[in-house]
Chain A
Amino acid sequence: MADAQALQEVLRNPAVWRARELAQEQEQRTDRTLGTGFSSLDLALPDGGWPVGALIELLADTSGVGELSLLLPTLRQVCAQGRAAALLAPPWLPYARAWESLGLPLDKLLMVESSSSDLLWSAEQILRSGECGAVVLWGQAAGRALDHRALQRLHLAASTGNALCFVYRATAVAEQPSPAPLRLKLRAQEGRLHLDFLKFRGALRNKSLLLDTYPAHWQPQPRLASQLETLSTPTYRPLRRSRSV
């Protein structure tokens, strides 16, 4: 009797790994991923897509490299499932016609403007309620308040509400530890988006990836530049010359 209890105690120790857990984790993983919309990224990610119920950090220094277009197919999918998407502390004004023409229903997009602790509180409330399928947070507005503990709370809130939480941060924090299970570094490379996988859960084939987030026909066109000189002359003439008195 005492031996059986002692054995249970040993098995209950978290340092003991059980093979059964791996199967459970695999099951959970396939149920809880959302396709990214880019087939090469889906293949490259260990789960086959974004892990639902987790915090995903995207580190980018500049905006305009395609970092938000990366998320657009995911947001479209979330809205199609009937859940809303929330953007917290967007760095610029969202241009409604662009979002609409890219297929995102505007009545499912919620914008929240706030700063530091209010921002993190709002993110936690939205994630935990489960009303939004995806929350995109720009960390620059939170400043110092976005520390390890705050990120952990966001991760827990995302798993409670079964939602995706994307956080954009500066590349300078790449050295700092973070509780996010997936961390990507984004930069531009010849008009394409270059992804570096800084942290991931599971096995990975390549540590970096190039994606096309812009239309392929957008290449530098010297013809346009030469047309600009002709624009500097006016294309109309006044009808009457004024007489000098």
Chain B
Amino acid sequence: MLWIALFLPELPLQLAERSAPETTTPLVIAEGPSQRPLVCCANAAARERGVATGMAVGAARALAGELNVLQRAPTAETQALHNLACWAGQFTPNVALEAAGLSLEVGATLRLHGGLPSLLSRLRKELSQLGYQVAVGVAPTPLAAWLLARARQEGLPVRMCQSLDQLPERLAPLPLHLLNWPDEVLQTFYTLGIHRIGQCLSLPRDGFLRRFGSERQRELDRALGVLPDPREWFTAPESFRSHLEFGFELTNTDMLLFPLKRLLRELEGFLRSRGAGVQNLQLQLDHMSRQKSFLSIGTAMPERSAERLLALAREHLGRTTLSAPVLGLGINAERVVSYDENNQSFLPDARSRAIGWTQLIDKLVARLGSDKLYKLRAVDDHRPERAWQRCAATVDHIPPTPTLNAPLPLWLLPTPRALSSRAGAPLCRGPLALLAGPQRIESGWWDGQGACRDYYVARNPHGETLWIYREHRREAPWYLHGIFA
């Protein structure tokens, strides 16, 4: 068993800074009763001005001058930890939620990720890409890993511990306050002159039990691995939903891409942990007075790569104009479908070509809109305006229709254009000479759009070859219906 503890210090502040990366203005997170809010966390700029945790917000404002105050949102924190646990599921199935972070049990999947150092470096890099600052502790028991992580956050020199034998000596120099014991208990230890865990461990066991109770002893035993410490594993939900609140208004769709990239990376981790892909992703933009607008991104084949989804989202966002400034961004993946990673073959084969085609269609549809891209299908009807239909660009096979034994033009006009005539002969940029015909089409009496026409191939003095018709009744005008290109 090997546990990695990911400790997220000052989680409310990290969430606020995650969506708005600039750090020059002082920012505090306030909690407590609304009559007297207290400072929960303060960023570096606020600390320079003298703001400290626990002081009243009014006092902080007096010290700092212009100060951004955000209310602490515990629901947002739990949701963020929840999403982070979904993301961490790609490294190991055994993820446990803690109060301010995660514990991952990686003993079984270590070899898959190429050993502990590469796994740790990957974790650190991807967490920084997601916008989190994290302190990492590695130990054979979850509680010891947590202690090491917190000690590292405080700046103490710690080394990761990989076996149970080394654990007592690694834990020995750590201060007692990391154990989160009540103040009066700690005070008792301090008066006894015990400040380190090592000193605590060297106390005689029965004396310790009598003086401080079995609960403290049990905790130390769990840290050392003497007693088992089972954790409840986190189970990822079926759908993924993530949200970021900005502290300011965004008016440009380009500025949305940076926070969107972070959300998509979390989604990718979640999809990897489930071995799934997503075909339909919904973006939610929050505006003032709780108004929301939605944008739907669809792909022909299941996708999970954050890069590709970001490229599609960029095309979609480039086409939309924001109706109002955006205050928050969310993504929502309702349905996930199974995704099989195609083996990258060295030579292009039919399957990779099919994937390339769908990715090209996705890209074009994202930029142009799905109504601008289509294929054609021939319909078995004699009337030319009804003899064709549009179909989606992703259609693979279009069955053929019976061939006609008549000259057909490559281009058709959307509506037939009336031609003027002189002495019964049609005119279209000059008198038309008839080349072939007539081809009589008499059809459609059953749906009220009957057509009884004689079609001719004609040519004008400019050399254009046209398809014209006239209806079969007295003094019917000539119409231009097609062009032989």
Contacts and interface: CB of A to CB of B under 8 A. Distances in A.
B353 interface: yes
Contacts of B400: 100
Contacts of A65: 463-465, 485
Contacts of B393: 110
Interface string B451-473: 00010110100111110001011
A191 interface: yes
Contacts of B465: 64-66, 191, 214, 218
Nearest to A217: B436
Contacts of A107: 375, 395-398
Given A111-B373, A188-B464, A219-B435, A100 B485 contact: no
Contacts of B410: 68-69, 94-95, 98-99, 102
A127 B474 CA distance: 52
Given A66-B465, A221-B434, A234 B387 contact: no
B449 to A, nearest CB: 18
A212 interface: no
B190 interface: no
A93 B375 contact: no
A218 B424 contact: no
Contacts of B300: none
A12 to B, nearest CB: 33
Interface string A102-145: 10011101111110001001100110011100000000000000
Contacts of B360: 125-126, 129, 131
A89 B331 CA distance: 35
B284 to A, nearest CB: 26
Interface hub of A84, A107, A217 (most chain B Cβ within 10 A)? A107
Interface in B416-444: 424-425, 433-438
Interface of B: 353, 356-357, 359-360, 363-364, 367-368, 372-379, 384, 387-389, 393, 395-398, 400-401, 403-404, 407-414, 424-425, 433-438, 454, 456-457, 459, 462-466, 470, 472-475, 482-485
The 6 A-B pairs at the shortest CB distance, nearest first, are namely A188-B463, A64-B464, A98-B408, A96-B388, A92-B411, A68-B485
Given A95-B409, A96-B376, A99-B410, 20 more contacts: A68-B485, A92-B483, A93-B388, A93-B412, A94-B388, A94-B411, A95-B388, A95-B410, A96-B387, A98-B410, A107-B395, A112-B364, A112-B368, A125-B360, A131-B357, A218-B435, A224-B437, A231-B470, A232-B424, A232-B475
